[in-house]
Structures are given as structure tokens and as C-alpha cells.
């Protein structure tokens, strides 16, 4: 694929480098007030606590929450024809709805490195001192993973950051045939993963997250990390056997924006040059569950 320069100032681009409208742009002003003012930061001390997100999640399980579904579908332009169900017992049941398999085909080519989810993707290098930079914020991979020794194995590799917004499909899959290790939970708070927050806090050091080592057949040992976010009551990972096939659902997020991060060893895969160009220019790339990234 020819590499095109993303449009100047574009925050989100498609696979050809063309700008895409941000469905959550209207949140920016409110989040700037929360993160950029003293009263807002005081409110965040409460709003980012896991208990608040759990209470919000409980409210979204109530049958009365279904009244929020039609305006949400209309505002986010969600293609309900992609989903088998049309009636839901709660807003959370709607939010975690499974897609029709034919609407998210998984690339079965063993050489294809696929996206685990629908998302806005940023690719950043892991430096030799195991740090990575997102939106100008410097992160320690060791702090993110909760283990400096583990982080050292990924010097010179890549971090693929898949940011899900509320209009995305909120289930995620295994990216290759693999033997998954035990999933480890790192407790934390729940900041929004909207880029506005990155200007003020290191969300990937602070948010609750789950870490799983995937011993993949074609790409080496890859780390998959699910990161919770504000108003996400749960990260739900399914139990699986000793071996799983690519495309099998790994889990899902309940309501809210959230993030999946893949940490790749050095030289594990050559990512599509256009995705890299978008990332280098500060733009996220829209990707789909099961689609090829190399």
C-alpha cells in the first residue's frame, strides 16, 4: 500500500490516511473542564473510583435503562443490521451485543496479523530503555505491565494501542492461534481513555488493567492488556482451554470507552506503513475486528 501523509491536524484517519469524523468530539469540552480545572480535578477523585463505575454499571443493567438505547443508536450512527438481536433487557445487554460473524470476518491467513477489536489504533515504538510515548506522555512499560523484568523482553518492540469509543463493537478476540497464559489483574482507578485525559494524567499507569501472555504460533510471545476506563464497570475475559484459535472471542468490555494494548517483540511483524505514518503524525487509524494490520 502506498503511504499517504495524513491530513494536517487530523485526529483520526482511515486506512488510506483520509480524515474521519470523531464520534466523541463533543466530549472534549466537558473532559477539558474535568481535567483542566481545579473543581474538575476534585470531581475526578470521585468519578475515577472503581465503585462509581460499578454503580453506573448496575444502573445500566436495570430494565429502565433501555430507554437510552434508541437515542444512542441514532447519535452514534450504529449499524444495527450488523447485529442479530434487536431487543435487549438493559442498556448493558445492548452495549455488549454480539455481532453477526459475517459482519466481522477474521483474516485466516497465517501471515496476517489481525486487529483484536474495532478501534482507533496508534502504534508506538518501545525504546531500548523500555519506555513508550503516547500523546506526548512518557510511559514506563515496566510500570504499565507491573513487572520490569517482563518489560525488558520487549525492548525495541512495538505497542499497539487500540482505543475503543462508545460507538465501537466492544468485544475482542485472540489475534493468532496461541496458548494463553494466566490473566493477571492490576488494580487501579478508571480515568477516561479519551486523548484529552492524556494531556493531564498517565492513564496507562493508573487505570485498572488485565495482562495476558499469548504464546502465539506465528508472531512469538505477545502481551495483550485490556485497560478499563471511566464508567466501564467490568473487563470480562472468558475462560479458555490450553490452546485457542485466532478469532475466538477473548472477552468484552461493559459500557464506556476502553482500550486493548498489544505489546510485540522486536521484529515480530511489519505493520502497514500507512498505519505507521498516521501514528507518526499524531493520528489514530480506524481498524476493524479481525482485519489485517500488516
Pairing between strand 12-13 and 284-287? parallel
Q: HSE of 219 in the Cβ direction (CA atoms, 13 Å)?
A: 30
177 labelled catalytic: no
Segments of the chain assigned E as strands: 12-13, 119-125, 131-134, 137-140, 158-164, 171-173, 178-180, 184-186, 209-216, 221-227, 235-237, 249-253, 258-264, 284-287
Distance CA 232, CA 32 (A): 20
Query: CA torsion 51→139→197→165, rounded to 10°?
Result: -80
Q: Per DSSP, what are the bridge partners of residue 122?
A: 161
Catalytic residue among 65, 118, 176, 279: 118
Exposed/middle/buried for 15, CB within 10 Å: 0-12, 13-18, 19+? middle
26 labelled catalytic: no
End-to-end CA, the chain: 10
Catalytic residue among 53, 65, 197, 258: 258
Catalytic residue set: 118, 258
Amino acid at each position: 500500500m502506498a503511504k499517504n501523509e495524513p491530513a494536517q491536524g487530523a485526529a483520526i484517519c482511515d486506512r488510506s490516511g483520509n480524515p474521519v469524523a470523531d464520534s466523541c468530539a463533543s466530549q472534549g469540552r466537558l473532559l477539558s473542564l474535568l481535567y483542566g480545572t481545579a473543581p474538575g480535578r476534585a470531581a475526578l477523585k470521585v468519578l475515577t473510583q472503581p465503585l462509581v463505575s460499578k454503580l453506573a454499571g448496575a444502573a445500566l443493567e436495570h430494565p429502565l435503562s433501555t430507554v437510552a438505547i434508541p437515542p444512542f443508536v441514532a447519535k452514534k450512527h450504529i449499524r444495527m443490521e450488523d447485529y442479530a438481536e434487536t431487543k435487549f433487557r438493559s442498556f448493558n445487554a445492548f452495549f455488549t451485543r454480539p455481532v453477526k460473524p459475517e459482519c466481522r470476518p477474521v483474516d485466516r491467513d497465517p501471515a496476517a496479523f489481525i486487529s483484536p477489536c474495532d478501534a482507533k489504533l496508534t502504534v508506538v515504538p518501545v525504546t531500548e530503555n523500555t519506555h513508550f510515548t503516547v500523546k506526548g506522555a512518557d510511559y514506563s512499560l515496566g510500570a504499565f505491565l507491573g513487572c520490569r523484568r517482563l518489560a525488558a523482553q520487549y525492548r525495541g518492540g512495538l505497542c499497539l494501542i487500540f482505543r475503543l469509543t462508545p460507538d465501537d463493537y466492544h468485544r475482542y478476540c485472540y489475534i493468532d492461534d496461541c496458548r494463553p497464559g494466566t490473566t493477571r489483574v492490576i488494580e487501579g482507578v478508571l480515568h477516561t481513555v479519551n486523548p484529552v485525559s492524556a494531556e493531564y494524567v498517565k492513564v496507562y499507569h493508573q487505570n485498572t488493567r488485565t495482562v495476558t501472555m499469548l504464546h502465539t504460533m506465528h508472531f512469538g510471545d505477545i502481551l495483550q492488556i485490556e485497560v478499563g476506563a471511566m464508567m466501564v464497570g467490568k473487563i470480562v475475559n472468558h475462560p479458555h482451554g490450553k490452546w485457542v484459535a485466532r478469532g475466538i472471542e477473548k472477552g468484552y468490555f461493559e459500557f464506556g470507552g476502553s482500550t486493548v494494548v498489544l505489546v510485540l517483540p522486536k521484529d515480530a511483524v511489519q505493520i502497514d506503513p500507512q498505519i505507521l505514518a498516521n501514528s507518526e503524525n499524531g493520528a489514530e487509524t480506524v481498524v476493524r475486528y479481525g482485519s489485517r494490520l500488516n
